[in-house]
Structure 1
């Protein structure tokens, strides 16, 4: 153990950058005048235990965006995803008076990102939900029980990503369209006309939603931006010509869209190769949606014992990063993307965090973001380490590192604030270095 005298508190952070990667304690204490206010500083570097855990296709399923399709990866196995969704009836929503006829009714899926082969042929099926779509739903639940024993097929369509209609070249937004039929449009119109629904709640009782799935094909997954039902119709605009002297026929659209105000729930199936769970390979894995995550165990009891040895009371800094194993990651043409945001959370708190729609607090639930160097940086997690150190637990606590999607909202003043944290239900994978040199926790303690 080396002892150095320093004359400015900032020196402890300089020393930290050069601390060796072992379990030795390094005192880098210093003296600040007057002597009665002397501060001692200690550094500590500890290895962390980590392993890969299966999500068993079961994570809280509510999400901002749906995922549709099937994809196969040589390392990470197979992902298949489809979704249940309700449609939002907007306040004041209406058809124009004097309807003449319904021209067409379309089921539209808009997307701007995807994984896989753009030429892979896929088949789309849209079934009507005959039971209310629940608020609490996990990705391994069976969606078919919400469409009944005799499913009602509303629409079907074959598609490829490259063949989807281009909505915007600037944003790369495309659209898959399936025909719902005139009779479906009449059903919605008659329900509105007869006032069988007047608001969103009564509409979702009248029409409970849809189950959107693929019926054939493999090779691509799309991230769904919007799912909508569009009823195109004509109406008689009474005295609506240019000088208000004669009737004229006009066109209009009645649209119902999946929004955050209603339920959108993903259903996921994964086939995870056994190789992902072999320990001692120097790697752990992340796979979404609902695939695998990395579990870490922080050596809280050893930290407490090391601090007691020198009578240190406070952890000022605890640096934690996860380094991507770039050399092992796929460079295939159709490789999956990397998750950009990870949530560090106690393993026992995962279910309640998502089902109760909690927000991360930066203290015991912490976000790490991926940088250009393929490193996920959780910055200073000293608040988390201090919290569990003071609990005097018999066993070291276990934490889950889970890919998430974070939602923000901007108010009228241009200020952004956190509104939601969701399981990341888009296709993504990452390989994490799991060796003593890289899977470690760097600490700085201090005392007066």
Structure 2
């Protein structure tokens, strides 16, 4: 028999496998002629154990997109997030000659994604970083270590999401951008200008020694979280443009702007604190939970030893299909006006590989690291066929069943010359989100199809 025919027969039994609701091995394929090409196919259903695990506020988060604010939820507890950052001084950056005066200096946060109450009053504080920031991109960083015993406040401002300044739409999106602006003061601008003029700094490395960065936090309020697109310092000034009028006969006073921005070339450290209620970790409730950023995730144990024994009892050799999905507990999920969103993409990965995966900037391979996408219509996260993963661990002949983390992630792509998407990054999901998963015996299971010649 041709291999193509065998796969066609196996595929047609997937629907039957989905209807299997017990742990018995059910034959679904008989004999296929000629006898020398006989193939047998059976289905199996095994239960999967799942529980909620704390991220302990420590996830790898190398990004220029900070999260700022505080949000409190009756079920999921409290999220408090702020960040430390450096600013990039690009090669060739300069003030115009013949500077006359600095008019204003603004600290600007640009964002277009947020969660919570748009009317909630919040307070912004910007502190000067006093010591060098570490090469550490984990969200449990302690900002107090880097602003000193007597932190210097650079700027403060009250804000709300609805009151933030609206900016022009991006060319690629209909989402309205917003900006939170605080006054850094003219003396701050003069300090930067004098450092540049005296050549105290001439490149990015020397600039980050001259000005080590800022700690951006909230000083009052609760109810909203924003995802920061850009953080920047804008120095507005006037200068004398010598013989700069229309016929080059007279000097002209002009205005300009000198900008410093957080970019991938410099450090940004997100500090995230979660207060997770003990109820989230109670087992036997039929539910497990996910909460981002750096909150809780769902951990599953696949019964590899049971699968291996089930196959051996009937002398089956190959796992053709292993279907795994997680159903959202829609009835328990919040539907309030200011609810947090649901994570759309999950990463299934061995729990012992999580840290090296993110810190090493690895990409999922679809075999031992697998992506699950949420169907908004039925609130199901579908990992499709994970047979490659189950087969890999079955063949390892482990003494204990392996444990896997299911973590909300964000996927980054680029588009090549042929307009095809190319995977470029997998990152811990830093936007505020929550999800409740059904983990009872009926819903948390693997549907398998075995075959043998």
CA distance in 2, matches of 1:366, 1:203: 42
CA distance change for structure 1 residues 37 and 200 in 2, over 3 Å: closer, same or farther? Answer: farther
Pairing partner for 1:284 from 281, 288, 296: 288
What is the SS of the residue equivalent to 1:183? helix
CA distance in 1, matches of 2:38, 2:240: 86
Instruction: For residue 409 of structure 1, report the CA deviation from its aligned partner.
Output: 2.6
CA distance in 2, matches of 1:88, 1:30: 67
Pairing partner for 1:354 from 351, 355, 358: 358
Instruction: For residue 73 of structure 1, report the CA deviation from its aligned partner.
Output: 0.6
Instruction: For residue 206 of structure 1, report the CA deviation from its aligned partner.
Output: 2.1
The corresponding residue for 2:22 is 22
Instruction: For residue 163 of structure 1, report the CA deviation from its aligned partner.
Output: 0.8
Aligned 8 A contact 2:64 2:230 in 1? no
1:417 aligns with 2:422: yes
CA distance in 1, matches of 2:408, 2:64: 14
Runs of 5+ consecutive residues of structure 2 not aligned to the other structure = none
The corresponding residue for 2:114 is 114
Pairing partner for 1:294 from 295, 298, 304: 298
1:164 aligns with 2:198: no
Aligned 8 A contact 1:126 1:211 in 2? yes
The corresponding residue for 2:344 is 340
The corresponding residue for 1:82 is 82
What is the SS of the residue equivalent to 1:326? coil
CA distance in 1, matches of 2:418, 2:185: 45
Deviations 1:142-179 (A, max 9, x none): 11101111111111111111111111364221110001
Aligned 8 A contact 2:126 2:215 in 1? yes
Instruction: For residue 310 of structure 1, report the CA deviation from its aligned partner.
Output: 2.2
- Superposition RMSD on alpha carbons, in Å? 1.7
Q: Which moved more, 1:292-301 or 1:52-61?
A: 52-61
Alignment of 1:127-142 (within 5 A): 127-142=127-142
**TM-score, length-scaled by structure 1:** 0.94
Q: Which moved more, 1:57-66 or 1:392-401?
A: 57-66
What is the SS of the residue equivalent to 2:306? helix
CA distance in 2, matches of 1:360, 1:197: 41
Pairing partner for 2:413 from 408, 416, 419: 408
Instruction: For residue 118 of structure 1, report the CA deviation from its aligned partner.
Output: 1.2
CA distance change for structure 1 residues 354 and 37 in 2, over 3 Å: closer, same or farther? Answer: same
CA distance in 2, matches of 1:313, 1:247: 86
1:388 aligns with 2:386: no
Instruction: For residue 72 of structure 1, report the CA deviation from its aligned partner.
Output: 0.7
CA distance change for structure 1 residues 253 and 33 in 2, over 3 Å: closer, same or farther? Answer: farther
Alignment of 1:61-80 (within 5 A): 61-80=61-80
Aligned 8 A contact 1:50 1:296 in 2? yes
Instruction: For residue 413 of structure 1, report the CA deviation from its aligned partner.
Output: 4.8
